[in-house]
Each structure stands twice: as structure tokens, then as C-alpha cells.
Amino acid sequence: MHHFVLGIFLFLGLGLLSSARAQTVSNQLEFGISSGRVIRHNTKFKPVVNGPSFLYQLSWIRHRNDSLAWRKAANFPRVGLTLMVADCAPNDVFGYGIGVSPFIDFTLRQRPKSRLDLRLGTGLAYFTKAYDPVSNPENNVIGSHLNTIVHLGIHHQWILNSRLSLGQGIDLIHFSNARSTSPNLGINTVAAKFSVRYALAKQPKQDTLTTCHRSRYAHEGFRPHSLSLRYGIGLTDRFVGGPVRPIHSSILQYMYSTGPLHSIGFGVKHSWDMGELEALSFLNQGEASIKLGSASNASAFIADAWRFGAMGLELAVGAYLYDRSMTYDCLWFKIGIQGFLGGRNRLIQGIAGCHMKSHYAVAEYVELQSGIQFNYGKTRR
């Protein structure tokens, strides 16, 4: 397996190096190894963690310094793509995972010979072993081969010269299928990371990087208030081996922009669980009509959002006003990626996103959202 991993990294690395001359922006290639342990974060976690876990990462990193307002406000973050291979213990239960995760690195501290970054990433991974009641009954952690990745990291880079740097840091990596298939406690790994980063061309100084004026939103202002109306749909099962059914949601949300990057706000959400409705109808055996409201819940939430051009991140914490579904919890947490159609100075924008809703570190479902956003207020810059 280790030779297979190194072979993949070598193949992709040579491909990136061969195209380095055609690049017009700053590009870097990073190879990293993370070593840590799987965390038993739930009392229902059955597998015995019998050793360390290893994660092999090959990352392509791109850095631009141009006139876009959001990049200036965010201190010119780096974006990239990571190929990740996971060897999580116990390997005989989880097998191996291979995945791809786009990410963004925010500079927390910059010095002439060092830099501290915060990495946020999300993607998809395939695990070779999943729960099976006969062949793999101990794996009550991931119920499907295809899983999502959520990646949070704090990384420090020692800059040796214009091309080479050495890194170390801490990674928190979560794998789960967001309860599209039960069981789904998820794999949480905390690991120490060591890396080598190589620039495909000599790093130009910040004042010599090419300034880009191609975007029509380069110097655009923003309206501080927004009101959005969204529809969401998620898929989940309620028990192991059960049918996957949709959950429909309607969301009304207000946000206030504190600056070109950050917004805070609140909203209300109403959901209808079709799987719950089907179960109630079956138990009732047709004796009386089951209304849609019998399998619904409503909640109020607060949200914190960061927007980077046409893309953004959103976090939300909600409390149920009433709950007639099978949730049995008081609070929920949501993290998501969303995209916007049109500039922030427009009165009306389209909005779409992918959000994961969870209860106390256990995912409930992934929700796809779409809707319309109304921006108002005096334009700011």
C-alpha cells in the first residue's frame, strides 16, 4: 500500500512540474505526512483503536496578489487542492481511504522567514471498507464507502529560500457520509503534520506580483443588509438498512455585513421529514390520515458567514422551537459552502450551497440549498 501511495504522488507531482512554465501565477507543490490517532468521540463507538493513523497528502497551492477587494481584505489567502490517502487504525475495520479536498489557507501571521496559516477544506473520500452486518459488524462508524471530508489545520512554514519551505502543524480531519447511510458516527482524527513545500517558480515579492483588473467586481462595494429565502433538500435514513428518504426545508434568513468579508445574522427554518411521515403512516395502518405536520420541526438560528468573491463559508447554530420528528435533540449545528450569482452591489442575487447539519458531532444529513437573496442599504467599500 505504501508503494502505491508514493507512486500516485510521484505521478501527479511530475505532471504538475511539467506544466510549471505555463503558469502565470505563483504555484507550489507540497508533500505532507500526518500521524495521529482516531478519537473515540461517542460512547457507541465500537472499533478498538489499536494504533496510530497516517494521512498522506499531496497538495497543489496557488497564490495571487491582485486588486480584488476580498483578497486584500483577507490578506491574500492561498487556495489549493489536496489528494489525501488515509490509513486509519484499526485498518482491518476501516480499510484505506483516498480522497480529494479543495481548501483555502488564511495567513494568521507573516514574517520574513516564517508564516502561520489556518487551513479550511472539504471534499470527498472513498473508503475500502464500510459497515456490513456479516463481514464487518464492528464498523458502526461509517456505513458507506463514499464519505465527505472536513479538514481543519493550523500549519507553520519555515521559509528556507525562494523555492523551498518546511512545515509542521496540527490537522483535525473528519470523515463521514453525513448520515446518507447508517451507521454514521464518523471518523475523527487528530494528527501532527510534517511537510515539504516546493515553489514551481521563484516566489516573486508581493509588490512585483501581477495585478489583475479582469474582474468587473475588482473594486465593487457591498450593501450591508441582505434577506434570503431558500429551499433545502437532504437525504437520510433513520435506521441501519432503512430506506433513504428526503427532508424538505424552507429557510428565511437575514444577514448584516460587518465588512467586505464577514456577515452575521439570524433566521428561521422549517423542515418536513418524509421518512418519518412514511414510518408514521405504516404504524398507523391507514386508520387515520397522517398530516404532513406530524413529521416536521421548526427552529431559530444564528449564523456567521465569510464570503470570498463568489464563494463563501457559513456556520450556524440553531435551537428547535418545536420538533415532531425523530430528532430528540435541542440544538443543531451547521457548516456549509455557498456560492453567489452576481456581485454584492446588486439588489438581487442567486444563492446555492451545500450544508451539513449535525447534532453533538454526529451528522444528521447533507442539505443542498438554493434560493434568492435581496441586498439593500447604502453601498459600502
**For residue range 34-61, what is the model confidence (pLDDT) as tens digits?**
999 999 888 888 999 999 999 999 999 9
Same domain, 105 and 182: yes
Same domain, 187 and 236: no
CATH code of the domain containing 85: 2.40.160.20
Same domain, 125 and 239: no
Provide the domain count of the chain. 2
- Rounded CA-CA distance 310/304 in Å is 17
Q: Is the link from the previous residue into 224 a cis peptide, with omega within 30 of 0?
A: no
Residue 216 lies in a domain: no
Residue 11 lies in a domain: no
Residue 209 lies in a domain: no
Same domain, 32 and 164: yes
Residue 220 lies in a domain: no
Least confident of 230-234, 328-332, 335-339: 328-332
Residue 205 lies in a domain: no
Q: What is the pLDDT confidence band of residue 344, given thresholds at 50, 70 and 90?
A: confident
Same domain, 256 and 183: no
Residue 109 lies in a domain: yes
27: three-class secondary structure by DSSP: strand
Domain end (from 142, 164, 199): 199
Same domain, 261 and 302: yes
Residue 148 and residue 337 in contact, taking contact as beta carbons nearer than 8 Å: no
Of residues 117 and 75, more confidently modeled: 117
CATH code of the domain containing 240: 2.40.160
Same domain, 272 and 166: no
Domain range enclosing 270: 225-376
Same domain, 327 and 194: no
pLDDT digits (tens, 9 = 90+) for 294-324: 788 899 999 999 988 888 899 999 999 988 6
Whole-angstrom Cα Rg for the chain: 23
- Rounded CA-CA distance 118/298 in Å is 34
Same domain, 113 and 253: no
- Rounded CA-CA distance 97/146 in Å is 9
Same domain, 160 and 260: no
Same domain, 257 and 171: no
152: three-class secondary structure by DSSP: strand
- Rounded CA-CA distance 120/79 in Å is 10
- Rounded CA-CA distance 153/169 in Å is 7
Nearest to 204 by CA among 163, 167, 155: 163
Residue 252 lies in a domain: yes
Same domain, 157 and 37: yes
Residue 266 lies in a domain: yes
4, 116, 292 from 16: Cα distances, Å: 19, 25, 53
